[in-house]
């Protein structure tokens, strides 16, 4: 997940997930929630069949909290895991990982990465449909 600068945060000011989803519309979209040198948190929504590029964070841990939909999480050296609402998963520092949305429902997750570094190896490509080019992602913070 790309670096988030402090000025890019769109504080939902107590908004519920339903309110944010209604405001953002159909996926793909992302809402930066927290940004400091210590941590970044982003609410992501991906449509059915979206996949992330396999990647690793050499100096950071990444936590995923699934809020809606289902996805398969692949962590290097481990069996793939299917996760739905309520699941919490962690990609340890340096462990390659990827996510693939399964089913027809939009996938929504809260992602937390610590630390929040602006480094070239901490940036990945935008998730996309398999074999497709990245699609525009609605991002109210401009990130």
Q: What percent of the chain has pLDDT over 70?
A: 85
The pLDDT value given to residue 72 = 97
pLDDT grade for 119, boundaries at 50, 70 and 90: confident
CA torsion, ordered 1, 115, 13, 99, to nearest 10 deg: 30
d(CA 108, CA 44): 6
**pLDDT higher than 50, residue 66:** yes
The pLDDT value given to residue 74 = 97
Count how many domains the chain has: 1
d(CA 125, CA 132): 12
71-99 pLDDT tens trace: 999 999 999 999 999 999 999 999 999 99
CATH number for 62: 2.60.120.10
Range of the domain at 39: 6-122
20-24, 80-84, 108-112, 118-122: least confidently modelled range = 118-122
Instruction: Answer whether residue 143 is part of any domain.
Output: no
Instruction: Answer whether residue 57 is part of any domain.
Output: yes
Contact between 89 and 64 (Cβ < 8 Å): yes
**What does pTM read for this prediction?**
0.85
Helix (H, G, I), strand (E, B) or coil at 14: coil
- Summarize the confidence of residues 98-125 as an average pLDDT: 87
Instruction: Answer whether residue 38 is part of any domain.
Output: yes
Instruction: Answer whether residue 101 is part of any domain.
Output: yes
pLDDT grade for 137, boundaries at 50, 70 and 90: low
């Amino acid at each position: 997940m790309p670096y988030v600068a402090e000025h890019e945060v769109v504080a939902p000011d107590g908004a519920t997930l339903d309110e944010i989803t209604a405001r953002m519309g159909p996926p793909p979209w992302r809402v930066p929630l927290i940004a400091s040198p210590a941590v970044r948190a982003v609410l992501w929504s991906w449509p059915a069949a979206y996949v992330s590029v396999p990647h690793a964070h050499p100096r950071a841990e990444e936590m995923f909290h699934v809020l809606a939909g289902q996805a398969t999480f692949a962590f290097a050296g481990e069996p793939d895991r299917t996760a739905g609402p309520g699941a919490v998963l962690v990609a340890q520092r340096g462990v390659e990982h990827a996510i693939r949305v399964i089913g027809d429902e939009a996938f929504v997750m809260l992602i937390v990465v610590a630390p929040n570094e602006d480094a070239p190896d901490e940036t990945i490509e935008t998730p996309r449909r398999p074999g497709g080019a990245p699609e525009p992602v609605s991002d109210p913070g401009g990130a």
